[in-house]
Structures are given as structure tokens and as C-alpha cells.
Amino acid sequence: MKRLWAPWRIGYILQPKAVNGRGCLFCRLRRPRSGAKELVLTRGTFAYSVLNRYPYNNGHLLVVPYRHVGALSRLTQEEWLDLWRLTLDGMERMRKVLRPQGYNVGFNLGRAAGAGIPGHLHLHLVPRWAGDVNFMPVLADHRVVSQSLDTAHRLLARAFPLRSPARPKRRA
């Protein structure tokens, strides 16, 4: 492998990036009136789950705390428990409806790690099947998602009861 040295790029990498003027997507989705149109699937007391609009794979869920928090160390114990409860619930419902053969579960923390919204952490729950990734990303720079968002949402929404969120407790 050859290396291309570009030391002038460090200035760009480290400079603060502009923030979208519309505010945080995940904070907008925490509102009780958001639902099917926004692909919200279920609500807990401290977190909710939403279908990823730009999925890695069909059925790709995001589990998001209501509170705008960007660091795992800043989550309360109640938030942690709700995130994991919704993750396990999502896995069980996916198992019944989508029948995946495996899952990818994890966080992208910070923009450098791939977090599209680095100030509001979220957990990715991605169902996986043998053969769901092929040569298209490597050869054609395209990803093939085998199911439409509407179909995935309809299937998962049947399995997810959409509950009204309890008011998250404010942390002092």
C-alpha cells in the first residue's frame, strides 16, 4: 500500500464544522406527535426506537435517548436500561418479523467514528442475513437494500406498539 502524505489536511480535520440550522433530528423525533411518518416505532420512558431513513440494511433501527447527550458516560442508569430494553425488544420483534440470521449492535461515537449526529448518541441495531452484502459497494460504490423503507416500517410497526412517551425526568 502506498501512502499519500497531506499534512495540510489536519487543519481541515480539526476545524469546527458548521451545524445544521434545523436543530437536532433526534430531539425533533422525541416529540409525542412524531410517529409513522417519521418512522418512529416504539417509545420507552427514557428512549425511543426509529427506523433508519438511510439504512445499512433493511430493518436498520436506531435506539435513541430522549435527552440530548453525546457521551456514554453522561447517560443515567435509567437511560441505559431503557436503551438496552428497547434494543432487546427490537431484536425479538425483528426475529419474529424479519427472521435475521444475526445482528450488528453498536454506537458510533464522534464524527470521526461515523456519527452523523455526534451530539446526540444513538445505538444501531442492524439485522443481518448470510449474503446480504455483495460486491456492489466495492465495485460500483452502491449499496443494495433488499426491502423498501415503507415495507420494513409496515412490518416492524405491526410488531412494535407505539406508546405515548412518559415525560423524561430532567437531570439537574
In angstroms, the Cα distances linking 53 to 24, 45, 60, 149, 150 are 15, 23, 9, 7, 10
Per-position b or e across 24-56, b if 16+ CB within 10 A of its CB:
ebbeebbeeebeeeebbbbbbbbbbbbbbeebb
Residue 122 annotated among the catalytic residues of the structure: yes
142 contact partners, CB below 8 Å, separation of at least 6? 136
- Of the candidates 28, 27, 25, 119, the one whose C-alpha atom is nearest the C-alpha of residue 71 is 119
Query: How many angstroms separate the CA atoms of 97 and 154, rounded?
Result: 10
Phi/psi at 47 (5° precision): -155, 170
Phi/psi at 62 (5° precision): -115, 135
60, 68, 120, 122: the catalytic one is 122
Which of the residues are catalytic? Answer: 122
